[in-house]
Amino acid sequence: MANDAGPVLAERRAGRQSSGAVRASGGDGGGVVGTNGARIVTSGWSRIARRLNGRDLSRCALAVLAFSLINTPVNILTAQADNPDVAAWKPMVWEVSSTLTLMAVIWIPWLAASLAPPDEAAGEGWRPKARFVAIHLAALLTFSALHVSGFVALRKLGYAVMGAGAYEFGDRFGYELRKDLVTYVLLVGGFLLTAYLRRRRDEPVRPVSFDIRDGARIIRAPLADILAVSSAGNYVEFLLADGRRLLMRATLAAVEAELSRFGFVRVHRSWLVNAERVTGLQPDGSGDWTVELGAVNAPLSRRYPAALATLRG
């Protein structure tokens, strides 16, 4: 389907904008103002930054700390019982040093879970999967190396304070790495679960309609009737189920920021589609697809594997 929207009339100066509309913030194209009046930033870094939610880190860290306050004393008593010939203070140093260092490096699995969630790895092709494996493998090795080096340093300090000679760690890094692998997987799972529950809680109620400014007019279109949105220069074109094509002065990125929460998926640098109105998917070769939305067809680029996974799912 052609992306040419035809002649575009200059938008008249209008008064106050109705709730739900997206308007341009100025002539620089650097951002737009959304329905809540806040400026929407659409750079690649902003999309990554939205995943790095500090509340997820703090909440999981508090949960791990609470668990450690119970688990660490139990491990100390168990180690003392299993090693009756060892001074009682040594298991305390072992377990406390491990717990303190773990709390200091807990941000590493949080960062990896934020940058490489499993749903992105489900995209077609090897690149999303390779990126997922590379990020988590690097994060695991960094997590374990810092954890081990941290608790070894604390144990050496503890032994020196107690006048017990040097602490010998030996060649047990492989053993500790296996234990850290289990801890890492549990932490990543905890962060992913926390992020999922937060998104479910913060997810806004799906609105019934969306206000489209077409010149001086404001047209309230039901979300279910919007099949797709395409870029048309400095405008975007809304393709409705009744055949109408409505132009609004805004960037596609701004409209995506407003509608992505309600089932609209970016399938091409110039297209958004309403996932609920997709009636078929046709392969075009070389990894590209055509998205069928009744009488409207939209291109799906191979550069958007996550979008394909979402529509196929």
pLDDT in tens, the chain (313 residues): 444 444 333 333 333 333 333 333 333 333 433 333 333 333 445 555 667 788 889 999 999 999 999 999 999 999 999 999 989 999 999 999 999 999 999 999 999 998 888 877 776 678 888 989 999 999 999 999 999 999 999 999 999 999 988 898 888 899 999 999 999 999 999 999 988 888 777 665 556 788 898 778 889 999 999 999 999 888 999 999 999 999 999 999 889 988 988 889 999 999 999 999 999 999 998 889 999 999 999 999 999 999 999 998 7
Residue with tokens 């938008």: 11
CA 10 from centre of chain:
38
Cα-Cα end-to-end distance for the chain: 24
Sorted by sequence, the CB contacts under 8 Å of residue 147 that are 6+ apart come out as 98, 101, 102, 105, 176, 180
Residue type, 1: M
Q: Are 258 and 38 in contact (CB under 8 A)?
A: no
Q: Are 52 and 249 in contact (CB under 8 A)?
A: no
Sorted by sequence, the CB contacts under 8 Å of residue 14 that are 6+ apart come out as 213, 216
